[in-house]
Structure 1
Amino acid sequence: MNENSGARRPFVVLGVSGGIAAYKACELLRLFTESGHDVRVVPTRQALRFVGEPTWAALSGNPVSTEVWDDAHEVPHVRVGRDADLVVVAPATADVLARAAHGIADDLLTNTLLTARCPVVFAPAMHTEMWEHPATRANVATLRERGALVLDPAVGRLTGADTGRGRLPEPEEIFQICRGVLSGRPRDLAGRHVVVSAGGTREAIDPVRFIGNRSSGLQGLALARTALVRGAGVTLVAANVTLPAPAGAEVIAVESAREMREAVLSACRDADAVVMAAAVADFRPAEYHDNKIKKTSAEPDPIRLVENPDILAELGRRRASSGEGPAVIVGFAAETDDVLANGHAKLKRKGCDLLVVNQVGAGLAFGTPDNAAVVLSADGDAVDVPRGPKEDLAHRVWDLVAARLP
């Protein structure tokens, strides 16, 4: 998709610091340039030990500098940051985070960060111990307090044989976050913690079979991603979602409705808002078979079902009885018929503040990139959201949530 709607292309500064993940920034650069952005790569001296200057220049179509003395007559240490629409540093090492937090300006990248008056995104990548060190945590907190969007690194394989938190998020996810930031959405969720559920639960029958649904998790991922863009800390409870998680979200993987209940209730203890976008199974088999059920006759034994916990209703009841839990509770209602009538009944029954009601089936909602919905509120309002990208619906939900937060 070309972002260029006028004569001037959005100007993005891509800072690259000296970590092994620097090679992944080449893919991020390609995503920016192919979508119509004008990109200036500003690597650190250490970054050039991983990916050379000719590579950055060829992929961006722009000159590459590391020092404030390069092309001094153009005063690049002021001009580059001042002219940028977005500065994104990927990977951002512990060293660059520290220098940025303390205002040290000893190369072109750190000078650019000091002169930038546009949104700044850091995508950290480092070893787990470095990310968890109190000095790094303090530097990250400082940058976030100043308005920068510092993503949490992903969990996965690190340099060598180690695995843990510290991996650079996938370039596609960093790009999607940056696109959202460039859209100019408000940072009205800064300092808030939100919980989002996504995907579809599975209820095991035996080691092979389960009862499930068609939810892909796309709408929940869109909600998580847009909340990050708006400044929130995001916990994503993902049920059987195979798509990459949004860069910066804390992800809790679950399978069944009971696992989701435990994860959601735990995450909601300090949450400001929760959005239950996951398709949670209403029922589960009463009996789990340790071995695969064999076909022994033309008419198999019936599978008796029992009711699963109603997570959304439980959140509402807990808040009503004790005042505990999120200030804003949002549910989703996937309906095939009598959509609004069923939605109003569910809103009253669940005790949530907002209910996103959408029609599903026949190529609608599940697994598609777009969605349409009516958002019902406990105070009687109804907001119609026309069909469009799932990110649009997600932003409309957060608009309504932000307006209700204390």
Structure 2
Amino acid sequence: MHHHSLKITYPDPATAELAFVGDWTLHSEVCPWQHLQQQLQAQPHLKKIRLVTVDLGIWDSRLLNVLQKVSEYCADREYRLDADDLPSGVRRLLDLGSAVAERQGARRSDRRFSFLYRTGEAAIAIWQECMRFTEFAGELVLSLWRLLRGRARFRRDDFFNLLQAAGPDALPIVSLIAILVGAVLAFVGAIQLQMFGAEIYVANLVALGSLREMGAMMTAIIMAGRTGSAYAAQLGSMQVNHEIDALKTFGISIIDFLVLPRMIALVIMLPLLTLWADLLGIVGGLMVSVMVLDLSLLEYLIQSRESVGWEDLTVGLIKSVLFAIVIAMSGCLRGLQSGRDSAAVGKATTSAMVTAILLIVVWDAITTILFNLLDF
């Protein structure tokens, strides 16, 4: 190993002399920059740094690297840098390094912005996000119009595979969650209603809760995690492999070819899954009522049938169609926005799921309030 060292002397409190001694090459042992920085920071009155290279041996980019850091350190703290003593080759290379403008955003800025600034930035980001979603929705509507006129091009096989993935493949998990949610609703209701001896009304609670709210919402949240994020991952991977660029080059509309079939598959399948979840939610409530509350099977079913009408089922189905649109849009938009590396695809997938669930909850609240106002 070739040794190299850096001697720091202080001729007066305002000046630091850095003397470079020995060989400064990539093969020599490292003199850590942090160590040097700590020593310089310990001098409160420092105004000037002088570089001395009388005893310098062989040098390469290792020396330049340290000098670059010293000169940046001086620029940050507004110290004077006396580099007249450097060999002319080193000086020329250093000047060349500082002459090339730094790429925008190459270095993370350490400035802390004020709360107001950050709030404004967040507001602008949210506004841009809303604009992107609206634009995407517009493109989808145009694509649907093209489909109705028989102009949209996508592969029928792809579409049937997507239907299979969004519907039958999701049945086991949807069934399990629906039964458990129904059972939990029944338990929660039972504890309260037993106080009044009104156990029979557990049937009303479970039937109404499942049909109007929980059936559609729990199914949508499962599908956002299952299918929405899958869409983002698929389209994100296609971005990485430049497949989307290839499709554009062929003049094929991305919205028609990739997004529309996914959207239609979900809009067809989610209401059907929601109907199934509604039914199983009622079955879950029934199991708890028969086992725990000693209600008879027939009593429970008759009470359920009397407590809900077609309008309750319609409310759930309208919500499920809205949720399907939201999930498909979030998944596809995030996938198309994805960057071109694996980390970006991971981020797109996460973001798709978060966006979808957020929008599901928001839309659920809006529709519930609207239906209440309309007495529906």
Q: What's the TM-score once normalised by structure 1's chain length?
A: 0.21
More strand by share: 1
Structure number with greater Rg is 2
More helix by share: 2
Query: Which of structures 1 and 2 has the larger relative contact order (alpha carbons within 8 angstroms, sep 6+)?
Result: 2
Q: What's the TM-score once normalised by structure 2's chain length?
A: 0.22
